[in-house]
Amino acid sequence: MPPRQLPQLDLTGGLLAFLLPGLGHVYQGRVRRGLLAGSGVLALYTIGLLIGGLSIVDSRGEGRDVLDRIWFFGQILVGPLTLVVDQLHHRFDAPGSTVALKPALGKVYDMGVLFTAIAGLMNLVVLFDALMPREHPIDAEQRQPRTPPGPVTATVTPAAAMPATAMPATAMPGPVSDATNAAPSHKDPA
């Protein structure tokens, strides 16, 4: 599907890009970019969750340093998916839950948080590209019809196409004739 004419500011595309990574580009007709960027963001996020488990997405930051909650602001940039993961985390962590959620510690926690937060930050880049789409200069150049290289030829102007009788003397092509096109002289002939 060819990309449709891209507006200067596409709020719908930006909103869709926030709802699901890559969806804004797909909406704009840039399907290949959307699929690649979206699957990349989701892959980074999934790898992060696989490394650290659901416990690394924590909006409340209970039992952790306050600074650890800063990472949640990076993770939330992936979209509503982070809210779902956060809800699952707190549901599984609640007393009486039948699911045993083990917290990540040390380097494993760091790597999981790093992957998910970078996925969010990269989705911010993708979101801005969907919000303010720009055509690549190479694509713009390719769309322009190319002129064949060669010597510059004179173009026929409307004035040259006019009959000589209807042409004003100042627009006459060819060598300037003194008799017809002489510039007005300010000299006194006497």
Partner 1 sequence: MSTLAFAPFLEPLNALHGPWAWMLLPLALGIAVIFRAIREPEHRFWPRYIRGVAMLTLKITLGVLLLGVAFHLFARVWLPLVTPMPAGN
The residue ranges that bind partner 1 (CB under 8 A) are 3, 25, 32-33, 36-37, 39-41, 43-44, 47, 49-55, 92, 99-112, 114-115, 118-119, 122, 125-126, 129, 136-139, 142
* Inter-residue contact 41 to 129 (CB < 8 Å): no
d(CA 77, CA 125): 10
Of 66 and 138, nearer to partner 1 (C-beta) is: 138
Q: How far is the CB of 66 from partner 1 (least distance, A)?
A: 22
Least distance to partner 1, CB of residue 65, Å = 18
Please choose, from the candidates 149, 123, 115, the residue with its C-alpha nearest in 3D space to the C-alpha of residue 17.
123
**3-state DSSP assignment of residue 156:** coil
Q: Nearest distance from residue 67's CB to partner 1, in Å?
A: 20
**What residues have CB less than 8 Å from 99, skipping those under 6 apart?**
92
Of 72 and 115, CB closest to partner 1 = 115
- Toward partner 1, which CB reaches closer, 15 or 121? 121
Q: Which is nearer to partner 1, 43 or 162 (CB)?
A: 43
Indicate the residue among 131 and 167 with the shorter CB distance to partner 1: 131
- Run of H or E including 112: helix 106-131
* Least distance (Å) between residue 91 CB and partner 1: 12
Written as six digits, the tokens of 97 are 């839950």
- Could you tell me which of 75, 72, 79 has the C-alpha nearest to residue 15? 79
CB of 45 to partner 1, least distance (A): 9
Alpha carbon dihedral 35, 36, 38, 44, in 10-degree steps, equals 150
